[in-house]
Amino acid sequence: MTTLGLHLIADIHGATALDDSARIETALRAAARAARVTVLEVRLHHFGAGCGVTGVVLLAESHISIHTWPEHALAAVDIFVCGPHADADAALAEICRQLGGAVVMRQAIDRLAV
Amino acid sequence: MTTLGLHLIADIHGATALDDSARIETALRAAARAARVTVLEVRLHHFGAGCGVTGVVLLAESHISIHTWPEHALAAVDIFVCGPHADADAALAEICRQLGGAVVMRQAIDRLAV
């Protein structure tokens, strides 16, 4: 069986800057570079002072997303990439390097069997 | 254990209109209504005539995304929602109703244990 996509899912605990949309955008763009994927667009939404941020990167190879809950020191990260050259694990490592924290849940799911 | 989010992952085979960004936007907005969630922004990217579409809905409750491969009649759908009132299964059913096709892979993942 061949699959078109790899979807890496991770929850991160103990990260910092989870209410800082500029830091989160920097982390997402660095993650895309680490994964060797092509950014089409980055969209962020801040839920208000002291609250979390949603960030989504539309990629030529699918997407990276993050949702943060600073009050719980939690972030939910998705790295969905297609193609043999994309490195989802490198993207996740880069997000952890940028924001700190530890991966407390991780699943790698093969998507789109053809 | 309590979790903040539910992430419903599904691959759909045999759907139509997978190269039609207007139909896909309509399906995504209908899915959000079905799930009883709040749309912040819808972003779409069409990869060219006959090619697939990426669509992402930023929600107050996280996100819905779709990536399509019309040449394989495949779509990868993610419905990531938070809060007790969001109905991820209703969103997935609405996308299938709008675009046709059958769910060939489905996983429901609890996110963000607190």
For residue B88, give the nearest of B110, B112, B114, B72 by alpha carbon.
B110
Tokens read off for B27: 């399906």
Q: Do B78 and A76 touch (CB under 8 A)?
A: no
Q: What is the tens place of the pLDDT at every residue in B26-42?
A: 999 999 999 999 999 99
Q: Do B11 and A104 touch (CB under 8 A)?
A: no
What's the rounded mean pLDDT across residues B2-27? 95
Q: Cβ contacts (< 8 Å) between B76 and chain A: which residues?
A: 5, 7, 62, 80, 111-112
Q: Cβ contacts (< 8 Å) between A47 and chain B: which residues?
A: 60
The predicted pLDDT at position B3 comes to 87
Give how far A82 is from chain B: nearest CA, Å: 10
Domains of chain A, first to last: 3-100 (3.60.90.10)
Residue B86 · residue B64 · CB < 8 Å = no
The predicted pLDDT at position A76 comes to 97
Each residue of A67-104: b (16+ CB within 10 Å) or e? bbbbeebbbbbbbbbbeeebbbebbbebbbebbebeee
In the predicted model, what is the mean pLDDT of chain A?
A: 96
Q: Does an H or E element contain A77, and which? A: strand A74-82
The predicted pLDDT at position B100 comes to 96
| ipTM computed for the complex | 0.94
Integer Cα distance of A11 and A103 in angstroms: 6
The predicted pLDDT at position B113 comes to 86
For residue A98, give the nearest of A6, A42, A33 by alpha carbon.
A33
Supply the DSSP string of B3-70, one letter for each residue: EEEEEEEEEEES-S-TT-HHHHHHHHHHHHHHHT--EEEEEEEE-STTS-EEEEEEETTEEEEEEEEG
The predicted pLDDT at position A27 comes to 98
pLDDT > 90 fraction of chain A, expressed in percent and rounded: 91
The predicted pLDDT at position B108 comes to 97
For residue B28, give the nearest of B39, B14, B16, B17 by alpha carbon.
B39
Residue B43 pLDDT > 90, yes or no?
Answer: yes
* CA A107 vs CA B11, B17, B111: distances in Å: 16, 30, 11
User: How does residue B101 score in pLDDT terms, banded at 50, 70 and 90?
Assistant: very high
* Cβ-based neighbours of B33, under 8 Å, separated by 6 or more: B94
User: How does residue A46 score in pLDDT terms, banded at 50, 70 and 90?
Assistant: very high
Torsion sign over Cα A39, A87, B24, B93: negative
Q: What is the tens place of the pLDDT at every residue in A53-101?
A: 999 999 999 999 999 999 999 999 999 999 889 999 999 999 999 999 9
Q: Does an H or E element contain A59, and which? A: strand A53-59
Among the options B45, B62, B65, B96, which is catalytic? B62
